[in-house]
Amino acid sequence: MDIGKTLWAIAEGYIPTGSFSETPEFVSHEALCVLNPGKTDAELEVTLYFGDRGPAGPYRLEVPAERVTHFRFNDMKDPEPVPRDTTFASVIRSNVPVVCQHTRLDSRDPHIAVMTTVPFH
């Protein structure tokens, strides 16, 4: 089934330093959910943009065929870690159509806040 797109962009990105808990599910994070509904493994290249310097990347991610992966920008380390408390944006390119969703969980306060949207495509 060929639902999805091969080019996506998220203009919003910001990982606050603080979290009320170090339990992974409650650490403040920005997530990139990627569904690969097709029969071919997806190879993604993510480029990060910032306010005061040139782009970073590509960060290489993979989503196997007929699988979904929730990546956290927090965990992207290669070629360089994603800075905290810093405005960033991202562009995602895939070799096959995928479906993306962007989610932030903010746990600076123990009463967490969440938000989500389907990125531009």
- Provide, rounded to whole angstroms, the least separation between the CB of residue 39 and a copy of itself: 11
From the number of C-beta atoms within 10 Å of its C-beta (0-12, 13-18, 19+), residue 28 rates as buried
37-46: burial string, b at 16+ Cβ within 10 Å, e else: bbeeebebeb
Give yes or no for residue 37 binding a copy of itself (CB under 8 A): yes
- Provide, rounded to whole angstroms, the least separation between the CB of residue 17 and a copy of itself: 10
In the set 27, 58, 61, 103, which binds a copy of itself (CB under 8 A)?
103
In the set 1, 22, 77, 78, which binds a copy of itself (CB under 8 A)?
1
Closest to 31 (Cα-Cα) out of 120, 97, 114, 111: 114
Q: What is the DSSP string of 33-60?
A: EEEE-SSS-EEEEEEEEESSS--EEEEE
**Residue with smaller CB distance to a copy of itself, 39 or 60:** 39
**Residue with smaller CB distance to a copy of itself, 78 or 85:** 85
Q: Which of residues 65-84 bind a copy of itself (CB under 8 A)?
A: 66-70
Amino acid at 6: T
66: left (phi over 0), alpha (psi -120 to 50) or beta: left
Q: What does the binding site for a copy of itself look like in residue numbers (CB under 8 A)?
A: 1, 3-4, 7, 9-14, 16, 25, 31, 33-35, 37, 49-52, 54-55, 66-70, 85, 87-89, 91, 98-104, 106, 108-121
